[in-house]
Chains A and B, each alone.
Chain A
């Protein structure tokens, strides 16, 4: 039936767009961390320049979700998919914003001598990127089991953050000359920790989409 084929086409287009946004957020984070670890401020500036396109993509997805709801009135799994995408797009955009904040910190830190504690932050970013990629894959395949596993793995990034936090505070005390840079790096660590939380949000939306189960804030409805 034509009407339903149109809906399928629109849902498919929406899926493509949100995965594109996910890919952009992932790339922004990867490049921001690269600019920090490789001390390449040009790459950091590219991340910042590209953010407008990510914002634009989020708005397009918003509009597309509203159009589908208003014009196609999706139900059941289609409705859950559109709602999940509508809630996921701002989450992905926020991840890209955190990547921009990391890029800004990289530009500042790259003008200063390198810090030893960067390694801990790199470990956090590797884990955050791994979680983000897996979350986008589980969303694509409506895989609620993997999504739940990813949610559990957020504790690892929290542990890494706590470890990094204490290490940087210790450095601020023992080497006061590096305190400003340590503080900047602490913000980077916090951005990565928040990205882990956002990935958890994506996974919760995947579980809702696949199973119609609300697991947000550990509330079961």
Chain B
């Protein structure tokens, strides 16, 4: 039975496609994406391009659909019952919702870091090695150790944990746990890293470390970050997308977005005059 839902009453211009960095094809391209939780339409015809090796921030009020949209980029919403997707999400021009897609491989290529750090109750080493082991990525212990070390270095955590790799990950501070989760995601060498409010539970120092890490990681990865902290979006991202009531209102360079956005709704939101 077709799902009928009333669209939120927002008058906006058509979604602005994100500029690609070199005029080439986008790493991720989303075309007319709709998403439904049962009968409720959470996303409305989202079209957006994410160029390779940039940081794109998603901003918007709670419930605007930015996290839902983030999760459509590696099919994390598949695990939620009674959800439905329309439109396309292309990763390197291949539709990730095509029936032949290997979802495990997709999630290896498009890693994710969550709001709350979620280390396994295992050692620091085993947390990072986990994905490598279950994916049978390495055949030797020395290679495994090398990959773990590299991931911890990439996550700017190695110097803090190199002498206690066998201790429980749960003994780390909140900020360290979050960087451990990033290391775990990096260990399987993703191409895109999705971060859902990765620093929202951290203090300013730990937040600063995560932000510096994001800045370094964009040299190798395409990063998409959902954040409620607009200053964080301004600090870390190259491009920002603003969502409202399941619609993409504006995509623009972060500099333009925070100094002279095109849409009045965006301006009202970022100047705190929304509603």
The chain A residues found within 8 Å of chain B, CB to CB, are: 1, 3-4, 7, 73-80, 212
Which residues 230-265 of B have a CB within 8 angstroms of A?
230-231, 234, 258-261
Contact residue among B231, B259, B260, B266 (Cβ-Cβ distance under 8 Å from A73)? B231
Chain B nearest Cβ from A124, distance in angstroms:
36
Tell me whether B258 and A79 are in contact (CB under 8 A).
Answer: yes
Q: A3-B272, A4-B273, A7-B272 are in contact. Are A76 and B231 (CB under 8 A)?
A: no
Q: Which residue of A lies closest to B270 (CB)?
A: A75
Contacts of A4 in B (CB 8 A): 271-273
The chain B residues found within 8 Å of chain A, CB to CB, are: 230-231, 234, 258-261, 266-267, 270-273, 275
Q: A4-B272, A77-B271 are in contact. Are A212 and B231 (CB under 8 A)?
A: no
Tell me whether B231 and A74 are in contact (CB under 8 A).
Answer: no
Q: What is the CA–CA distance of A195 and B169 in the complex, to the nearest angstrom?
A: 67
Tell me whether A76 and B272 are in contact (CB under 8 A).
Answer: no
Grouping DSSP codes into helix (H, G, I), strand (E, B) and loop, the A interface class, with mixed when no group exceeds half, is helix
Taking A77-B260, A77-B271, A78-B271 as known contacts, 13 extra A-B pairs with beta carbons closer than 8 A to each other, sorted by chain A number, are A1-B272, A4-B271, A4-B273, A73-B231, A75-B234, A75-B271, A76-B260, A76-B261, A76-B267, A76-B270, A76-B271, A212-B259, A212-B260
Chain A nearest Cβ from B38, distance in angstroms:
32
Q: What is the CA–CA distance of A212 and B256 in the complex, to the nearest angstrom?
A: 9
Q: What is the CA–CA distance of A76 and B257 in the complex, to the nearest angstrom?
A: 7
Q: What is the CA–CA distance of A75 and B230 in the complex, to the nearest angstrom?
A: 10
Contacts of B258 in A (CB 8 A): 75-76, 79
Chain A nearest Cβ from B64, distance in angstroms:
17
Q: What is the CA–CA distance of A212 and B252 in the complex, to the nearest angstrom?
A: 15
Name 20 interchain pairs, CB-CB below 8 A, sorted by A. Answer: A1-B272, A1-B275, A3-B272, A4-B272, A73-B231, A75-B230, A75-B259, A75-B270, A75-B271, A76-B258, A76-B261, A76-B267, A76-B270, A77-B260, A77-B271, A78-B271, A79-B259, A80-B259, A212-B259, A212-B260
